[in-house]
């Protein structure tokens, strides 16, 4: 299958008063055309910064991409001129953000915010662009789109605003849609709706989707492949089924265990992963997860493990590589 | 909108009403006998005359009666007469008011143009030498007394270069006082603008705009500037009030014949009817202008709903 | 005359209480070059004010120590005025007046304003409505007008001008305090203290006051600069310090009459005011930044 996006050794740093933040550390992954890839990690794991770096949208200063390449449709995005990059953004690859309350401009009508990209990239006249925008709003399920398009963002509910964001992201039929935690700021009851809309539109249009989330369970019916990020690194990547049933990284196993426990609704067993992610300013030696890892051996504290293949399309960065299937089985029977 | 307008109007009327009470009380707060003080500086006045004046001013009656009397007269447009010269106070004030308004509005324009531009650039070039230079200028600017700035401008532009007359009240003379008042306030406006623009520039919707592939100029002019302008309009009302207050001092530096100059003269002369009239007029102007500017603000910010 | 303060309610963290924390706070504060310069300016001004008799070469009020309206020279650094008084000595002594005016005026406005704001914020109900509505009305008059009205009532003099300037800023401090109290009132610790039945007086002074102190200190530091500017403006207008007082605004006012012939008589006191005010502004900015929780985090 053709690789739509191929990220190699991406490194992003933030140069702050308190030191250099190692936000993205040697991240490599790819996304095939029409594929849905989930990126999972805690906040601060670098998942959003990775994608913002690929879009060249990190605030600079203080942020800076210090190495790597981001091949998109055969071109390295990091080497494009500002103008060339702009012609791709919102056009061939687009991004929707976490908080639809703050991500939409409060003083511009939805119409303006939607048509500006359509006019820019598709060269449509205003009336044409407006007709397209109405159509898009209808596709994401906004009732009365023809009238609602004249409204301001604050006149929509949170869920509706995120639909507007999605419509905006799809305005120019992108080949890749990056969804940066699009449900996090919304009420739980709306999560499924948003997921469903994106899934359906993806099927219709045949675009690829990168879905960033901290909620592994959200990706169950959505992603083809999942990347797990920790401390600015990819620690495991695998197809959905393999990751859910045969995780090999202790961090992934921990994440899955916490989901299982929630499923069981057994409060007494609810044990999240102890400790906090490392400070990305004083980047630790060895495996960044080692301080929190119950499987850690001496080597983990001195040497950072590389990503190694453990199955078909399945890679893990761990010296121990415990068999997640057994551990999950054990904890499941313990709760049962 | 109508309801909001009415609410603002009632609030404004309330402020003016409180002012009328305050100016009536003002004269009674004066330590000692106000009538004695008022006439102390003028030609010898006999005790009989003092009593006569006291009666004329109504100062021999209970205070609530004085207030009703005063209000009755004010509502008919009678603000009393000056202590010396017996001129109608309202006429004196209304003749000078346009001069003060002209000065205040011109200065406000200078303040906003200079201050907003400087603040905008400082925010956009945050952390660069442009930012540092502008903000150093701003903090020095807010530290310089306006009357001194005025004198320095006179000594440069009038005395040295001979470009403008030293003082007086016509359009040719407007430049230096307006510049003085305008620049003195531009410093603080640039600081306010900078912080509000920094806030706008860091908002998520700016990232959204860039993610759409918009050119940087469009991102700034359409997405940042409009939001920034809302904050700017929001401070217009307060800035106008500062201009009116600042005008009192600057008018005296440049002998600009506005109500501020009249006010200082009447304080020297202990001319209480004029002082009272001045305070009332000042408050009324400030209230009216801020209502108008509030409506403007409500009109340009779509988020404000009126209920 | 009045100068607006840029941020009405600065978002600042509670004042650091412990000794070590305080030292760390000072480190953060004086890391900024602005605060350093401001601190030095104020230190110098204070030293000049305290040791004025030792620093000033002449009596500030004595006439004819030099010939009249002499330009700056080795003997008279800042020149002399129309009475042949030494301008440098007058400005040195003037620093005493300026600091006193600034501090006393801020003390008046802060005490009254904080009290008003706390009572209004704590009491709620009609007390709050009446007080804050009154404060709003006063606020819309501008400090200039309030100060003028106060001088009109009290009569022109340095003391009265100081009081007038103090009164004029009361609404401002009341607002800042009121805003801060409202924030504190909704915090857990306050609700807890209320729940265990703490008395009103105790609640206000033991619980609220310490927590709203830091925004007020920031405002008060900048407030001194506002007060100095306002008071010198009143003196300049002839409504404050009266001749032969070496108050800076008053020196400037006197120098106006002959400022073409002797520009130094107006230049130096103006510079003195600007530099002192700059000191308070710089320190105030530094304090705000050092106490701003957002700044600290990044």
Answer yes or no: do A94 and B211 touch at CB < 8 A: yes
Average pLDDT over residues B24-47: 75
Q: What is the pLDDT of residues B89-102, one digit of tens each?
A: 999 999 999 999 99
| DSSP reduced 3-state for A19 | strand
| DSSP reduced 3-state for A277 | coil
Is the predicted pLDDT of residue B257 greater than 50, yes or no?
yes
In the prediction, which pLDDT does B116 show? 92
Is the predicted pLDDT of residue C1 greater than 60, yes or no?
no
Give the structural domain span for C280: 33-292
In the prediction, which pLDDT does C9 show? 44
Q: What's the CA gap between B180 and B166, in Å, rounded?
A: 13
Q: Does B131 touch chain A (CB under 8 A)?
A: no
Q: Cβ–Cβ contacts within 10 Å for residue C128, how many? A: 17
* Phi, psi torsion values for A331, nearest 5 degrees: -70, -25
In the prediction, which pLDDT does C296 show? 41
Q: What's the CA gap between B225 and B229, in Å, rounded?
A: 6
Average pLDDT over residues A100-104: 84
> What's the CATH architecture for B90-300?
Orthogonal Bundle (1.10)
Which has more confidence, C293 or C138? C138
Q: Report the alpha-carbon angle B33-B36-B42, nearest 5.
A: 155
In the prediction, which pLDDT does B300 show? 77
Is C205 a domain residue? yes
Which residues from chain A sit within 8 angstroms of residue B210, using beta carbons? 57, 89
Is C143 a domain residue? yes
| Joined tokens for residue A43 | 């906040």
A272 — pLDDT class (breaks 50, 70, 90): low
Is the predicted pLDDT of residue A266 greater than 50, yes or no?
no
In the prediction, which pLDDT does C71 show? 87
In the prediction, which pLDDT does B305 show? 54
In the prediction, which pLDDT does C3 show? 42
In the prediction, which pLDDT does C246 show? 93
In the prediction, which pLDDT does A262 show? 58
Q: Are B223 and B175 in contact (CB under 8 A)?
A: no
Q: What is the pLDDT of residues A134-176, one digit of tens each?
A: 988 888 888 888 888 888 888 888 888 888 888 888 888 888 9
- pTM tops 0.90, yes or no: no
Q: What's the CA gap between B113 and C198, in Å, rounded?
A: 53
Answer yes or no: do B286 and C270 touch at CB < 8 A: no
Write down which chains contact chain B via at least 3 CB pairs under 8 A. A, C
Q: Give residue limits of the domains in chain B.
A: 90-300
Q: What is the pLDDT of residues A1-15, one digit of tens each?
A: 578 888 889 888 888
Which has more confidence, B43 or B256? B256
Average pLDDT over residues B260-279: 91
Q: pLDDT over 90 for what percent of chain C?
A: 39
Q: Does A18 touch chain C (CB under 8 A)?
A: yes
In the prediction, which pLDDT does C293 show? 54
Write down which chains contact chain A via at least 3 CB pairs under 8 A. B, C
Residues 174-193 of B with CB under 8 A from C: 185, 188, 191-192
Q: pLDDT over 90 for what percent of chain A?
A: 4
Q: Give residue limits of the domains in chain A.
A: 3-229, 231-334
In the prediction, which pLDDT does A195 show? 84
Which has more confidence, B116 or B31? B116
Which of A224-228, B44-48, C162-166 is predicted least confidently?
B44-48
Upper half-sphere CA count for residue B176 (Cβ side, 13 Å): 32
In the prediction, which pLDDT does A188 show? 76
Is the predicted pLDDT of residue C123 greater than 90, yes or no?
no
B149 — pLDDT class (breaks 50, 70, 90): very high
Answer yes or no: do C34 and B139 touch at CB < 8 A: yes
Q: What is the pLDDT of residues A24-76, one digit of tens each?
A: 888 888 898 889 999 998 877 888 889 989 888 888 778 888 888 888 888 88
Chain C closest-CA separation from residue B56 CA (Å): 20
Q: Of A316, A317, A284, give the one whose Cα is nearest residue A301.
A: A284
Q: How many folded domains does chain C comprise?
A: 1
Answer yes or no: do B223 and A91 touch at CB < 8 A: no
Pairing outcome for strands A63-72 and A75-76? antiparallel
Burial-class residue C103 by CB neighbours within 10 Å (0-12, 13-18, 19+): middle
Answer yes or no: do B151 and C270 touch at CB < 8 A: yes
Which residues from chain C sit within 8 angstroms of residue B268, using beta carbons? 156, 238-239
In the prediction, which pLDDT does B161 show? 83
Q: What is the pLDDT of residues B105-122, one digit of tens each?
A: 999 999 999 999 999 999
Is the predicted pLDDT of residue A268 greater than 50, yes or no?
no
Which residues from chain B sit within 8 angstroms of residue A154, using beta carbons? 302-303
In the prediction, which pLDDT does C37 show? 93
Chain C closest-CA separation from residue A57 CA (Å): 20
Residues 14-43 of C with CB under 8 A from B: 34
Burial-class residue C157 by CB neighbours within 10 Å (0-12, 13-18, 19+): middle
Is the predicted pLDDT of residue C255 greater than 70, yes or no?
yes
Is C117 a domain residue? yes
**C295 to chain A: closest CA residue:** A17
Q: Does A121 touch chain B (CB under 8 A)?
A: yes
Is the predicted pLDDT of residue C295 greater than 50, yes or no?
no
User: Can you say how many angstroms the Cα of residue C124 is from the centroid of all Cα atoms in its chain?
Assistant: 30
Q: What is the CATH number of the domain that holds C150?
A: 1.10.3720.10
Burial-class residue B32 by CB neighbours within 10 Å (0-12, 13-18, 19+): exposed
Which residues from chain C sit within 8 angstroms of residue A44, using beta carbons? none
In the prediction, which pLDDT does B81 show? 84
Is the predicted pLDDT of residue C58 greater than 60, yes or no?
yes
Max mean pLDDT range (A123-132, B70-79, B141-150, C192-201): B141-150
Is the predicted pLDDT of residue C298 greater than 50, yes or no?
no
Q: pLDDT over 90 for what percent of chain B?
A: 36
> B27 vs A50, B223, B272, B278, CA distance in Å?
71, 53, 7, 14
In the prediction, which pLDDT does B304 show? 64
Our CA dihedral for B42, B46, B51, B53, rounded to 10 degrees, sits at -30
Is the predicted pLDDT of residue A314 greater than 80, yes or no?
yes
ipTM > 0.90 for the complex: no
Chain A closest-CA separation from residue B1 CA (Å): 17
> C276 vs A172, B30, B133, C38, CA distance in Å?
59, 33, 20, 9
Answer yes or no: do A91 and B205 touch at CB < 8 A: no
In the prediction, which pLDDT does C7 show? 37
Q: What's the CA gap between C256 and C259, in Å, rounded?
A: 5
Which residue of B211, B221, B228, B302 is the best one to mutate when testing the A interface, meaning the one whose CB has the most A CBs within 10 A?
Answer: B211
Average pLDDT over residues C288-295: 68
Does domain A3-229 sit in CATH 3.40.50.300?
yes
């Amino acid at each position: 299958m053709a690789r739509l996006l191929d990220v190699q050794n991406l490194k992003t740093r933030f140069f702050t008063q308190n030191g250099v933040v190692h936000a993205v550390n040697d991240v490599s992954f790819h996304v095939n055309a029409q594929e849905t890839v989930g990126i999972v990690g805690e906040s601060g794991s670098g998942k959003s910064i990775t994608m913002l770096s690929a879009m060249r949208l990190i605030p600079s200063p203080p942020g800076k991409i210090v190495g790597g390449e981001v091949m998109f449709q055969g071109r390295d995005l990091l080497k494009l001129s500002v103008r060339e990059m702009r012609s791709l953004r919102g056009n061939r690859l687009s991004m929707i953000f976490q908080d639809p309350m703050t991500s939409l401009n409060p003083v511009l009508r939805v119409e303006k915010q939607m048509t500006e990209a359509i006019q820019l990239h598709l060269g449509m006249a205003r009336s044409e662009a407006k007709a397209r925008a109405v159509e898009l709003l209808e596709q994401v399920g906004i009732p009365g789109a023809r009238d609602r398009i004249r409204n301001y963002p604050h006149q929509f509910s949170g869920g509706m605003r995120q639909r507007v964001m999605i419509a905006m992201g799809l305005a120019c039929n992108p080949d890749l849609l990056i969804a940066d935690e699009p449900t996090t700021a919304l009420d739980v009851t709306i999560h499924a709706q948003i997921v469903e809309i994106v899934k359906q539109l993806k099927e219709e249009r045949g675009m690829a989707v990168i879905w960033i989330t901290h909620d592994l369970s959200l990706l169950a019916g959505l992603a083809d492949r999942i990347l797990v990020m920790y401390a600015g690194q990819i620690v495991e990547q695998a197809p959905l089924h393999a990751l859910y049933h045969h995780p090999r990284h202790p961090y992934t196993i921990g994440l899955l265990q916490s989901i299982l426990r929630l499923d069981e609704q057994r409060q007494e067993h609810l044990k999240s992963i102890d400790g906090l992610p490392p400070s990305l300013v004083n980047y630790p030696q060895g495996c960044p997860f080692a301080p929190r890892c119950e499987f850690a051996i001496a080597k983990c504290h001195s040497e950072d493990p590389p990503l190694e293949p453990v199955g078909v399309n399945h890679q893990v960065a761990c010296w121990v590589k415990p068999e997640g299937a057994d551990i999950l089985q054990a904890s499941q029977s313990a709760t049962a | 909108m109508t309801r909001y307008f009415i609410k603002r109007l009632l609030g404004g009327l309330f402020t003016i009403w409180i002012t009328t009470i305050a100016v009536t009380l003002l004269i009674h707060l004066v330590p000692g006998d106000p009538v004695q003080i008022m006439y102390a500086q003028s030609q010898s006045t006999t005790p009989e005359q003092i009593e006569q004046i006291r009666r004329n001013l109504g100062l021999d009656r209970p205070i609530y009666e004085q207030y009703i009397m005063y209000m009755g007269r004010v509502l008919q447009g009678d603000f009393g007469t000056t202590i010396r010269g017996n001129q109608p106070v309202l006429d004196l004030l209304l003749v000078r008011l346009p001069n003060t308004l002209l000065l205040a509005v011109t200065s406000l324009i200078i303040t906003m143009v200079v201050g907003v531009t400087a603040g905008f650039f400082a925010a956009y070039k945050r952390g660069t030498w442009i930012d540092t230079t502008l903000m150093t200028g701003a903090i020095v600017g807010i530290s310089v007394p306006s009357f001194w700035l005025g004198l320095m401008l006179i000594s440069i532009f009038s005395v040295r270069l001979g470009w403008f007359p030293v003082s007086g009240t016509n359009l040719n003379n407007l430049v230096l006082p307006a510049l003085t008042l305008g620049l003195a306030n531009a410093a603080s406006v640039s600081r306010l603008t900078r912080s509000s623009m920094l806030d706008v520039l860091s908002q998520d919707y700016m990232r959204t705009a860039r993610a759409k592939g918009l050119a940087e100029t469009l991102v700034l002019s359409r997405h940042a500037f409009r939001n920034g302008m809302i904050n700017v309009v929001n401070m217009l009302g307060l800035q106008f009030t500062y201009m009116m207050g600042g005008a009192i001092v600057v008018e005296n530096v440049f002998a600009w014949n506005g109500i501020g100059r009249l006010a200082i003269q009447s304080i020297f002369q202990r001319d209480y009817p004029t002082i009272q009239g001045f305070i009332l007029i000042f408050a009324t102007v400030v209230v009216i202008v801020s209502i108008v500017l509030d409506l403007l603000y409500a009109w340009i910010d779509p988020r404000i709903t009126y209920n | 005359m009045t100068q607006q303060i840029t941020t009405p309610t600065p978002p600042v963290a509670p004042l650091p209480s412990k000794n070590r924390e305080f030292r760390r706070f000072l480190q953060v504060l004086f890391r900024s070059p602005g605060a350093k310069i401001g601190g030095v300016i104020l230190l110098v001004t204070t030293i000049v004010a305290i040791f004025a008799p030792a620093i000033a070469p002449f009596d500030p009020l004595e006439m004819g120590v030099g010939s009249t309206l002499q330009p700056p020279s080795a003997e008279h650094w800042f020149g002399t005025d129309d009475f042949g008084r030494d301008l440098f000595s007058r400005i040195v002594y003037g620093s005493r007046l300026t600091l006193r005016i600034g501090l006393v005026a801020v003390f008046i406005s802060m005490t009254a304003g904080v009290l008003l704001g706390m009572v209004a914020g704590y009491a709620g109900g009609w007390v709050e409505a009446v007080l804050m509505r009154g404060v709003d009305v006063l606020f819309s008059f501008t400090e200039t007008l309030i100060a003028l009205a106060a001088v009109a009532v009290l009569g022109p003099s340095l003391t009265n001008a100081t009081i007038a300037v103090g009164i004029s800023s009361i609404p401002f401090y009341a607002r800042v305090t009121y805003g801060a109290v409202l924030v504190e009132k909704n915090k857990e610790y306050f609700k807890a203290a209320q729940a265990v039945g703490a008395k009103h007086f105790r609640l206000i002074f033991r619980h609220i006051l310490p927590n709203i102190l830091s925004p007020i200190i920031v405002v008060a530091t900048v407030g001194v600069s506002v007060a100095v500017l306002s008071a010198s403006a009143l003196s300049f207008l002839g409504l404050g310090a009266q001749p032969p007082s070496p108050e800076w605004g008053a020196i400037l006012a006197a120098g106006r009459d002959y400022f073409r012939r002797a520009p130094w008589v107006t230049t130096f006191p103006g510079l003195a005011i600007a530099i002192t005010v700059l000191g308070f502004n710089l320190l105030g900015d530094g304090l705000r930044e050092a106490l701003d929780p957002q700044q600290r985090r990044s």
